[in-house]
Amino acid sequence: MAAPGAKTRVQAILLLALSLVLSSHVVSAFKDNEFKKCAQTSFCSRNRGVQQGQNFEIVPASLVLNTATLTATLSNKPASKTLQLTLTSHADGFVRFMVDELPGVGRYQVPGDVLVSGWETKKAAFKEESRSANQIVLSSGDARVELNFQPFTLAISVKGQPALQINSRNLFNFEHRRTKQDSDPAGYWEETWMSHTDSKPKGPEAMSLDLVFPGFQNVYGIPERATSLSLRPTNGAAPYGEPYRLYNLDVFEYLDDHPFGLYGSIPVMMAHKKGLTVGVFWNNAAEMFVDVVKPGRDTAVQWITESGIVDLFVFVGGSAPAVLASYAKVAGTTALPQLFSLGYHQCRWNYKDEADVKAVDGGFDEHAIPYDVLWLDIEHTNGKRYLTWDSSVFPNPIPMQEDVASRGREMVTIVDPHVKRDHAYYVFSEAEKAGHFVKNKYNNDFDGWCWPGQSSYLDVTSPAVRSWWAEQFTLDKYQGSTKHLYIWNDMNEPSVFNGPEITMQKDNIHFGGVEHRDNHNLYGIYYHMATAEGLKLRGSIVNPESGDRPFVLSRAFFSGTQRVGPIWTGDNAAQWSHLKVSVPMLLTLGLTGLPYSGADVGGFFGNPDAELMTRWYQVGIFYPFFRGHAHLETQRREPWLFGPETTARIRTAIRGRYAMLPYIYTLFRAANTSGLPILRPLWYEFPEAEELFAVDEEFMLGSAMLVKPVSAAGASSVDVTLPQGARWYDALTGAMVPPRTKSHRVQVTLDGIPVYYRGGNIVPRRERPRRSTAAQANDPYTLVVALDDKGEAAGSLYADDGRTFAFTRGDYLHRDFTFKGMKLTSTAHQEPGLPAGTLTLPLTVERVVFLGLPPARRGYKAVIGGKHTVPLEAGPLSMLAAQAENALVLRKPDLPVSHDWTVEIVAA
């Protein structure tokens, strides 16, 4: 939850009382003036659009090319700054462009443990194509790199097409470390914002990168903000006259359709046009501002950072999947989550006591709605001392968790990085004694205000602090915890209620003497990492053989968070516009390597009505992370509290999620092995269709399903855009959409939203309604075979124990299904570099549902394994929502899921 935007507890209570008075309508309380704009920020205003230019040049005599590495001196006259430029060529589809001062200056670099290890050494030699007095041209795989000396520019093309220019607008700048001079302008050595003064002991050290994507009209990425998928120009009307900002902040009541940066930052941008996708990643954790303008047919970006170095990765694989696969080599892929965490999560600030927990848990069973996890927010603790319990309301936390677990479910408690300054609280006293807290500029433990009042903040940038923190999660250390308890990290931007912009002072000091200015955007990932390490440690103790996978949700994030755990989009509101913007927000996270994410279903602030609640669940079932959550002051909103009709609709939606889990888990496996997104923009699947490049009101779940949310009140119809060149089948009725339907108006009722299967795909499902994922474990599968124009389809199924790391040793099942020449076959899926799957499950395929088989006069029959014959019958697509009989169904073929088999479809 967000900071109350108040400096004291008393103020917070007053605010609460006031908002209760006003609670009949949602007040838009985003306090624009509590956050800095570019013009109010010295490094941004002095670099934004530096029109005169800095005129950097390469010193030709300095240039050295040594296989995969080119180095040269960059300097500018008359200021004669001397910089080191390094260009490296890597085997995994990228080129790295670095600029730093001379060695010894010691500017901050993002530590290696934020990214994966080992990628630096996998280099591929540059090939020298040509060299002249003013230019060198190199190639690396499909990329051609042209470095011009005077003036300095760098142009990269991929497969013969221009992809990226650096400094073609002469906006490149790099502020040297300097000694203080009387003539220095205001803002160089000290900067004041509201009541806060930043002492800036290192002075100015900003950089400006000038990037042009030639011929690209659409760029994406640089989360997190609540705005469109295709980034709008920042030279537009307010609020789009401000650059996008990357600075992790706890933004109270954020607005939709706004460029303002929220809780997490991924400095990754992707540009796409017909025939080419290119990606860039600036590995830098300081505050950033990014201007996007669209002159002519190009997109031009000025990217300004307060400190650190220029460390730009350019991904040259040419397509979005290739860009993401290369980025994953550096930042990592999504950790395969425990299966339970892909079920539905029920959260609220707060489930009050043990009786409340029992009642909510029982409510799901009473209303036959599946769910997997019940969450406890900050009120479960003893006075916001995390890892403790308020014994007046949670006197028996272990039996409580065991009771929930007896029905195959799990629990989550919140644990935040601010530690109450109370010597009687063991976490504080141990951490204080060991010197584990972030220091202020006077080298004392930083003392800031957060939920518990006066708090200090664990310095998780230190590996030793992270190990100590991880140890706090073993069952003997965390009193009242069981192996069924998982963790939620909130407020890890970090949120400091009385700090500048509700975070920490930039002149605070971390491990190694690093200023908070340099690593601000890493605080969240390091805290998340340390907590996840804690659950991993616990998992290796409770399950020494294979280790249990961790589950830790975080609000703040950076590049690499995908290796740690999921994030959610923070404190949204119960408004239609927030439902709508959740889609581009999650699509953007998928395009920047962090697909395991979700938005709070129902909206955190305010009270959704039955219609908004229904529509939100209908979309939420497709979010990779699927949780309902609500603010303390809102009315209760468990799924059965909106009347029987709404309960039935929400039940249908959530059961639909559970039916899709075999498909969703298989998508997670692809995210785990190859960095692929789970929710995908339409253009990702149809990269040549220009009319789709900016579409963000629809999305794909994997490659097989297209979803159109209904995000307006009272809608009786919506316009659906269906990409051309594919066949589409209504996922409720199974009816094929007439060919060449581009955009069409679809009638909707409150019972559902438009969802389609894309012809050419085989989708595994489990259709028996159960109370949780654990209860589905022995259920048979259904295969939906949706044929394309050639009468073919393909898909796969991944399964493992859903819980441990045994899959990393090959303890998994992965099958490929193909339908071709009227034959459906199942074969083992093989992926280079991975151990072969060795898991055998005694489960069967109980139904095969064909969509799009051409009409046959006397129907069809299936010949199974060349032997026994079963007729195909007209039937509904799904057992969950028996509607029209537009599918041909093979019932009870009893095909063993772990083995090879063939089913031939022949005319009856």
Ligand X SMILES: *[C@@H]1O[C@H](CO)[C@@H](O)[C@H](O)[C@H]1NC(C)=O
Q: Which residues are catalytic?
A: 490, 493, 571
Give the contact letters, 699-738, x = binds to ligand X (CB under 6 A), - = no: ----------------------------------------
Name beta bridge partners: 850.
785, 888
What is the CA 622 to chain-centroid distance, rounded? Answer: 14
Distance between CA atoms of 726 and 688, rounded to whole angstroms?
Answer: 13
> To the nearest whole angstrom, how small is the minimum distance from the Cβ of residue 703 to ligand X?
20
Please tell me whether residue 666 binds ligand X under the rule CB under 6 A: no
Closest CA to 762 of 793, 718, 731, 806: 793
What three-state secondary structure class fits 34? helix
Proportion of the chain in helix, strand, coil states, percent, rounded to 5: 20, 30, 50
Phi, psi of 619 (to 5 degrees): -90, -40
> To the nearest whole angstrom, how small is the minimum distance from the Cβ of residue 795 to ligand X?
20
> To the nearest whole angstrom, how small is the minimum distance from the Cβ of residue 335 to ligand X?
4
> To the nearest whole angstrom, how small is the minimum distance from the Cβ of residue 333 to ligand X?
5
Whether the CB-CB separation of 652 and 881 falls below 8 Å is answered with yes
Closest CA to 400 of 332, 485, 467: 485
CB atoms within 10 A of CB 840: 11
> To the nearest whole angstrom, how small is the minimum distance from the Cβ of residue 835 to ligand X?
10
> To the nearest whole angstrom, how small is the minimum distance from the Cβ of residue 542 to ligand X?
16
Token pair for residue 508? Answer: 């605070």
What is the CA 357 to chain-centroid distance, rounded? Answer: 29
Among 167, 218, 333, 508, binds ligand X (CB under 6 A): 333
Tell me the window of 245-253, 329-337, 709-717, 840-848 that interacts with ligand X (CB under 6 A).
329-337
Q: Which is nearer to ligand X, 536 or 758 (CB)?
A: 536
Q: Which is nearer to ligand X, 55 or 540 (CB)?
A: 540
Distance between CA atoms of 246 and 324, rounded to whole angstroms?
Answer: 20
Name beta bridge partners: 269.
221, 280
> To the nearest whole angstrom, how small is the minimum distance from the Cβ of residue 540 to ligand X?
13
CB neighbour list of residue 195: distance below 8 Å, 6 or more residues apart: none
**Burial (CB count <10 Å: 0-12, 13-18, 19+), residue 37:** middle
Whether the CB-CB separation of 798 and 763 falls below 8 Å is answered with no
Q: Which is nearer to ligand X, 325 or 378 (CB)?
A: 325
Helix count and strand count (H, E) for the chain: 14, 51
Q: Is 426 left (phi over 0), alpha (psi -120 to 50) or beta?
A: alpha
Distance between CA atoms of 804 and 810, rounded to whole angstroms?
Answer: 12
Q: Which is nearer to ligand X, 335 or 824 (CB)?
A: 335
Whether the CB-CB separation of 555 and 320 falls below 8 Å is answered with no
Preceding peptide of 239 cis, ω within 30°: yes
Whether the CB-CB separation of 908 and 856 falls below 8 Å is answered with yes
Residues 784-813 that bind ligand X (CB under 6 A): 808
Residues 670-699 that bind ligand X (CB under 6 A): 672-673
Residues 414-433 that bind ligand X (CB under 6 A): none
Q: Which is nearer to ligand X, 474 or 808 (CB)?
A: 808
Distance between CA atoms of 571 and 3, rounded to whole angstroms?
Answer: 10
Q: Which is nearer to ligand X, 417 or 593 (CB)?
A: 593
Please tell me whether residue 335 binds ligand X under the rule CB under 6 A: yes
> To the nearest whole angstrom, how small is the minimum distance from the Cβ of residue 336 to ligand X?
4
Q: Give the single-character DSSP code of 296.
A: T
Tell me the window of 333-341, 586-594, 717-725, 835-843 that interacts with ligand X (CB under 6 A).
333-341
Number of residues that bind ligand X (CB under 6 A): 7
Among 336, 411, 585, 710, binds ligand X (CB under 6 A): 336
Give the contact letters, 279-318, x = binds to ligand X (CB under 6 A), - = no: ----------------------------------------
Indicate the residue type of 718. Answer: V
Q: Which is nearer to ligand X, 165 or 333 (CB)?
A: 333
DSSP string, 203-254: ----EEEEEEETT--EEEE----SS-SSPPPSSSSTTTTS-EEE-----TTP
Distance between CA atoms of 843 and 781, rounded to whole angstroms?
Answer: 8
Distance between CA atoms of 461 and 111, rounded to whole angstroms?
Answer: 9
Closest CA to 718 of 696, 689, 698, 740: 698
Q: Which is nearer to ligand X, 436 or 815 (CB)?
A: 815
Q: Which is nearer to ligand X, 208 or 673 (CB)?
A: 673
Crossing angle of helices 610-620/644-674, nearest 10°? 30
CA distances from 697 to 260, 709, 726 (A): 21, 7, 19
Q: Which is nearer to ligand X, 499 or 802 (CB)?
A: 802
Q: Which is nearer to ligand X, 230 or 673 (CB)?
A: 673
Residues 564-583 that bind ligand X (CB under 6 A): none
Tell me the window of 27-35, 332-340, 370-378, 742-750 that interacts with ligand X (CB under 6 A).
332-340
> To the nearest whole angstrom, how small is the minimum distance from the Cβ of residue 812 to ligand X?
10
Q: Which is nearer to ligand X, 537 or 879 (CB)?
A: 537
Q: Give the single-character DSSP code of 637.
A: -
Please tell me whether residue 549 binds ligand X under the rule CB under 6 A: yes
What three-state secondary structure class fits 149? coil
CA distances from 62 to 83, 85, 132, 149, 396 (A): 11, 10, 14, 11, 70
Q: Give the single-character DSSP code of 159.
A: T
> To the nearest whole angstrom, how small is the minimum distance from the Cβ of residue 472 to ligand X?
22
Tell me the window of 36-44, 331-339, 537-545, 571-579 that interacts with ligand X (CB under 6 A).
331-339
> To the nearest whole angstrom, how small is the minimum distance from the Cβ of residue 237 to ligand X?
44
> To the nearest whole angstrom, how small is the minimum distance from the Cβ of residue 285 to ligand X?
23
> To the nearest whole angstrom, how small is the minimum distance from the Cβ of residue 798 to ligand X?
11
First-to-last alpha carbon distance for the chain, in angstroms, is 61
Could you list the residues that contact ligand X (CB under 6 A)?
333, 335-336, 549, 672-673, 808
